[in-house]
Amino acid sequence: MEPLHILKERKAQIHRKGDAPFALECNKDSLAGAVSQRACVFCGSRVVLYPIADAVHLVHGPIGCAVYTWDIRGALSSGPELHRLSFSTDLQEMDVIFGGEPKLYKALIELIDRHQPKAAFVYSTCIVGLIGDDLQAVCKRVEKEKGIPVLPVMSEGFKGNKRAGYKAACNAMEKLVGTGDTSGISKHSINILGDFNLAGEIWLIRDYYQRIGIEVVANITGDGRIDDIKRSHGASLNVVQCSGATMDLANMMEERFNIPNIRVSYFGVEDMAESLYEVARYFNDAEMMEKARILVRDELETLLPELQQYKAALTGKRAAIYVGGAFKAFSLVKAFRLLGMDVVMVGSQTGTAEDYEELQEITDEGTIIIDDANPLELSAFIREKDVDIFVGGVKERPIAYKLGVAFCDHNHERKELLAGFSGMLNFAKEVYSSVMSPVWQFVPRRAEEEIS
Amino acid sequence: MSKMPNYISTTNACKLCKPLGASLAFRGIEGAVPFLHGSQGCATYMRRYIISHFNEPIDIASSSLGEKHAIYGGSANLKLGLKNVTAKYSPELIGVATTCLTETIGDDVQMIIQEYRDEFQSGAGEPLIVSVSTPSYSGSHMEGFHAATKAVVEQLSSGGERNTTINILPGFISAADLRYLKELVSDFDLSATILPDYSETLDGEALNEYPLIPKGGTPLSAITRMGCSKKTLECGRTLPDSTAGTSLKVNHQVPLTRLGLPIGIRETDTFMSALAEVSGNPVPEKYATARGRLVDALVDGHKYIFGKRAIVYGEEDMVVGITALLAEIGVHPVLCASGGKSGKFKNSIEAVLEGLNCELPEVHENVDFFDIEERATELKADMLVGHSKGYTFSRKANIPLIRVGFPIHDRVGGQRLLHIGYHGAQQLFDTITNTMIAKKQDDSDVGYSYM
Ligand code: SF4
């Protein structure tokens, strides 16, 4: 009874809540010819490391990988902006034949001399993995000559999916952690992991934490700085946002430096508040908890009345979610509920079994849960569920728009602040201003409804 | 004349990779699905990039190779991918382009496809498969675009008795340009096969159903007959020596005329004469009027732009065309730059400037935005003309950017920009002149509001 647009190899990655006991396949390679929305290992690494603003990010490979990732993220910096430049070795045929190491070496020296960065990340791409350039050796040599950390990121595109790229990024950062001076760090201190400072979100989050008496040692990686990461092992706690991206680093820090971690989300009112409470709970500090309560109360006092008007208009509208990491999807489900909306489809590119288990617990009967989707599946479900707004990344945008459905970008590429309490308001505003636009009256979808 | 230093590293490239160009070209064929033989990432990245300009869905399939394929070869996955695309999209054509990965592991794509045909394509109604070699480490997206177009005619067109149709190979122009071109040929009462034609596939209407394959594109039946056409017009002064046009000439004796992209008055004049000649019809009234109106407008506006200095960058042929237009309206192109390296860039610029009393600009191929910015600072430009990637510099240097070409991803409507013909020249002239007027107005203490 599954519709035609689903390839049989993909059936186990799609579930309708209520149809059968829950079991969803995930974390497998994308199917050839299925037009997956996923990118590659390189992409995963780039997403995580990109916001570190005082490092050179050199993509060792053909021009495409670098050029398609040039400044597409919304990650802001309060200081240096090296991350917004797109550096590449632009490998040519001769380099492929004779090896790209000499070019890599020279390019690194050139860029380090030119920009005087605090460190350099060197991303390996498909082709480099194949021709077997010894990235590690070149990086080591340059590191010695230039006296800054030069970190190979083993992100060959074909060696898995985006998730493997997160791991490669964390491995590269691991070499930095533990190399800086930790004196003077408060015992009430944390690192913020897994926030990329899209549209300046981390400034907001940092401010919340500081208001409840916490010192933030390192932002990993939004508005990130090499020196902060080097001393991040001096913090007492790692607060990790998002399910996948920086978890590996947090685990490593737990193992090596005994720093525990907690997982949080900054999207939506409940999750944002809970993030502050959990940190306060961890430090077991009554004063801090009291401050957190006051902060949340103050913020909500202004936020909730403002949300009302949006909620009034949006109640009963239907939303679909397809995002990179599943953790974000939990928050979005709750955020939509706060606006009175129903989530009818939810999926991710890289969710794990536990993620999906949790998703199915918090969603309503009939909700479609989907792993590693493609345009045809997404569009079929959007139509079937008569969705009013679709939340995804830029690749999902034209799918929604073509079908006459509102869209909200909730990916690394977005330029709107959606985290924290003011982010919730922005989110509500954005959903409202798109869903309520008169344009939908003119799209074929609605015209057809009028007739029938 | 200054010399560009020779940098090793690339910072903010002024080009894209070959498979992207091939994907765009394949997208301009009716019933076609572009297919990249390589890892999943490339296809996704390119889709994302193309979406940012066209704001249209673009499905590019991938053979999604993983580690084991990189070692043992991608044959099985290519076949599986072809099978899945066929099952799901029912395409008429699958355009397979290679990537750095599959070029390097040495997959013999032609052979794999032949095997696939033998193994799975017994029945009728199976899609045609065209393949093109596009290693991302050699050349730019323009080479990929032309190589795919060439592969299409070489693998699909056959010869035969001459008919009255002409072939137009317009190069990489906008969707609006393609629509204009179609109108133009029909106004000349010509039947023409334009390859590729993504005017609809990458600029379609609002729909109620996700199009498996968007409608539009050059019909396959027309492509098959391209070897029988009476003439080929191929646009681009910096084209490779061997292209779709030369293939049609060598393989099927279709006479070939190569001209520049019809941007600006003189390049358009040439193009119009070619159409007049091949159709035997005079230039339609409508275009004569448009030309007259354009010249009249140039007179009205010339004072506001004469002697202004422009930096032009982007794809070589686009830069050549825009440079011609600028010089014609009295703007001085001081730097023409491209990430491409055809080796024909400089001569082409000189050719279009001939007789215009315009001092020769600096011309640099194979450069990135780091190079461009470095030269630009010295050259004191009044405007930048090129795609969105110049925005960072435009902002930093407070020089207005006039957006043309691809990609335009910080504005809507990049695909609807008209560059070619008298109408295109008219629009660009208005935009350029008004941008200069606005800049003067905004910068002034007085802010006069009458001209
Ligand atoms: S798949 Fe490979 S070649 Fe493609 S973008 Fe990713 S790293 Fe680059």
pLDDT in tens, B87-108: 999 999 999 999 999 999 999 9
Contacts of A380 in chain B (CB under 8 A): 210
Nearest CA among B290, B292, B289, B275 for reference residue B187:
B275
The answer to whether A32 faces chain B, any CB pair under 8 Å, is: yes
Give me the residue label for tokens 């076609």.
B32
- The answer to whether the Cβ–Cβ distance between A380 and B210 falls below 8 Å is yes
Q: Are B70 and B107 in contact (CB under 8 A)?
A: no
Contacts of A43 in chain B (CB under 8 A): 41, 44-45
- The answer to whether the Cβ–Cβ distance between B210 and A92 falls below 8 Å is no
At A450 the pLDDT is: 62
The band of A1, judged by pLDDT with boundaries at 50, 70 and 90, is very low
Contacts of A404 in chain B (CB under 8 A): 206-208
At A266 the pLDDT is: 95
Q: How far is the CA of A90 from the centre of ligand 1 (A)?
A: 13
The answer to whether A322 faces chain B, any CB pair under 8 Å, is: no
Least confident of A143-152, A272-281, B67-76: B67-76
The SS3 of residue B217 is: coil
Torsion sign (Cα): A378, A381, A383, A386: negative
pLDDT at residue B283 above 50? yes
Contacts of A379 in chain B (CB under 8 A): 209-210
Q: Give the mean model confidence (pLDDT) for residues A386-397.
A: 92
**Number of residues that make up chain A:** 452
Closest-CA residue, ligand 1 atom 3, reads A126
Nearest CA among A93, A83, A165, A94 for reference residue A124:
A165
At A411 the pLDDT is: 85
Q: Give the mean model confidence (pLDDT) for residues A404-426.
A: 93
Q: Is B380 left (phi over 0), alpha (psi -120 to 50) or beta?
A: left
Picking from A33, A107, A445, the nearest residue to B84 by CB comes out as A33
Q: How far is the CA of B40 from the centre of ligand 1 (A)?
A: 8
Picking from A7, A42, A127, the nearest residue to B41 by CB comes out as A42
Q: How far is the CA of A373 from the centre of ligand 1 (A)?
A: 20
Picking from A32, A91, A160, the nearest residue to B84 by CB comes out as A32
Pocket of ligand 1 from Cβ distances under 6 Å: A 40, 42, 61, 64-65, 125-126, 157; B 39, 41-42, 45, 100
Q: Give the mean model confidence (pLDDT) for residues A195-210.
A: 96
pLDDT at residue A10 above 70? yes
Q: Give the mean model confidence (pLDDT) for residues B22-42.
A: 96
Q: How far is the CA of B100 from the centre of ligand 1 (A)?
A: 8
> What ligand 1 atom has the least distance to the C-alpha of B42?
4
- The answer to whether the Cβ–Cβ distance between B59 and A35 falls below 8 Å is yes
The answer to whether A64 faces chain B, any CB pair under 8 Å, is: yes
- The answer to whether the Cβ–Cβ distance between A62 and B208 falls below 8 Å is no
At A391 the pLDDT is: 96
Q: How far is the CA of B393 from the centre of ligand 1 (A)?
A: 27
Nearest CA among B307, B272, B311 for reference residue B291:
B272
**Alpha-carbon gap, residue A448 to B168, rounded angstroms:** 39
Contacts of B387 in chain A (CB under 8 A): none
Picking from B35, B59, B100, the nearest residue to A126 by CB comes out as B100
Contacts of A62 in chain B (CB under 8 A): 17, 100, 135-137
How many Cβ pairs within 8 Å bridge chains A and B? Answer: 239
**Alpha-carbon gap, residue B14 to B369, rounded angstroms:** 6
Query: In angstroms, what separates the C-alpha of A94 from chain B's closest C-alpha?
Result: 9
Q: Give the mean model confidence (pLDDT) for residues B243-271.
A: 98
Q: How far is the CA of A127 from the centre of ligand 1 (A)?
A: 8
Query: In angstroms, what separates the C-alpha of A286 from chain B's closest C-alpha?
Result: 48
Testing the interface with B: which of A47, A69, A86, A90 to mutate, by most B Cβ within 10 A?
Answer: A90
Query: In angstroms, what separates the C-alpha of A211 from chain B's closest C-alpha?
Result: 36
This prediction's pTM: 0.94
Q: How far is the CA of B39 from the centre of ligand 1 (A)?
A: 7
The band of A448, judged by pLDDT with boundaries at 50, 70 and 90, is low
Give strand pairing partners of B233: B168, B257
Strand ranges in A126-277 using DSSP code E only, listed in sequence order: 150-153, 189-195, 215-221, 237-241, 261-264
Q: How far is CA B187 from CA B84, B291, B433, in A?
A: 42, 15, 30
pLDDT in tens, A215-234: 999 999 999 999 999 999 99
What residues 204-223 of chain A have any CB closer than 8 A to a CB of chain B? none
- Tell me the three-class secondary structure of A355-379, residue by residue: HHHHHHHHCCCCCEEEECCCHHHHH
Q: Give the mean model confidence (pLDDT) for residues A35-40.
A: 83
Query: In angstroms, what separates the C-alpha of B298 from chain A's closest C-alpha?
Result: 37
Least confident of A107-111, A213-217, A316-320, A393-397: A393-397
pLDDT at residue B3 above 60? no
pLDDT in tens, A93-106: 999 999 999 999 99
pLDDT at residue A4 above 70? no
Q: How far is the CA of A65 from the centre of ligand 1 (A)?
A: 6
Q: Are B125 and B190 in contact (CB under 8 A)?
A: no
Closest-CA residue, ligand 1 atom 8, reads A65
- The answer to whether the Cβ–Cβ distance between B45 and A43 falls below 8 Å is yes
The preferred substitution site among B16, B40, B45, B47 for testing ligand 1, maximizing ligand atoms within 8 Å of CB, is: B45
pLDDT in tens, B351-378: 999 999 899 999 999 999 999 999 998 8
Minimum CA–CA partner of B94 in chain A: A33
Pairing of strands A87-88, A14-16: unpaired
The answer to whether A202 faces chain B, any CB pair under 8 Å, is: no
Question: At A187, which amino acid appears?
Answer: K
> What ligand 1 atom has the least distance to the C-alpha of B39?
1
Strand ranges in A66-108 using DSSP code E only, listed in sequence order: 87-88
Torsion sign (Cα): A181, A182, A185, A190: positive
Q: Are A223 and A197 in contact (CB under 8 A)?
A: yes
Strand ranges in B151-306 using DSSP code E only, listed in sequence order: 166-169, 192-194, 231-235, 256-259
At B43 the pLDDT is: 94
pLDDT at residue B422 above 80? yes
**Alpha-carbon gap, residue B68 to B63, rounded angstroms:** 13
Give strand pairing partners of B336: B312, B363
Contacts of A405 in chain B (CB under 8 A): none
Query: In angstroms, what separates the C-alpha of A112 from chain B's closest C-alpha?
Result: 11
At A413 the pLDDT is: 83
Q: How far is the CA of A136 from the centre of ligand 1 (A)?
A: 20
C-beta neighbour count of A8 within 10 angstroms:
9
Report helix angle A269-283 to A286-314, nearest 10.
Answer: 170
**Alpha-carbon gap, residue A20 to A366, rounded angstroms:** 11
Q: How far is the CA of A64 from the centre of ligand 1 (A)?
A: 8
Nearest CA among A29, A32, A25, A27 for reference residue A11:
A25
At B192 the pLDDT is: 98
The preferred substitution site among A30, A46, A58, A126 for testing ligand 1, maximizing ligand atoms within 8 Å of CB, is: A126
What is chain A's mean pLDDT, rounded?
92
C-beta neighbour count of B39 within 10 angstroms:
35
pLDDT at residue A253 above 70? yes
pLDDT at residue B327 above 80? yes
At B1 the pLDDT is: 41
> What ligand 1 atom has the least distance to the C-alpha of A155?
7
Picking from A29, A130, A444, the nearest residue to B101 by CB comes out as A130
The band of B334, judged by pLDDT with boundaries at 50, 70 and 90, is very high
Picking from B42, B64, B69, the nearest residue to A31 by CB comes out as B64
Contacts of A85 in chain B (CB under 8 A): 11-12
pLDDT in tens, B164-206: 999 999 999 999 999 999 999 999 999 999 999 999 999 999 9
Picking from B49, B67, B204, the nearest residue to A68 by CB comes out as B49
Q: DSSP letter for A154, please.
A: -
pLDDT at residue B338 above 70? yes
pLDDT at residue A21 above 80? no
Minimum CA–CA partner of A70 in chain B: B12
Q: Give the mean model confidence (pLDDT) for residues A122-130.
A: 95
pLDDT at residue A346 above 90? yes
The band of B135, judged by pLDDT with boundaries at 50, 70 and 90, is very high
Q: Are B69 and A158 in contact (CB under 8 A)?
A: yes
At A2 the pLDDT is: 43
- Give the Cα-Cα-Cα angle B423, B424, B427 (nearest 5 degrees): 90
Among A21-25, B64-68, B249-253, the range with the most confident prediction by mean pLDDT is B249-253
- The answer to whether the Cβ–Cβ distance between A398 and B55 falls below 8 Å is yes
pLDDT at residue A395 above 90? no
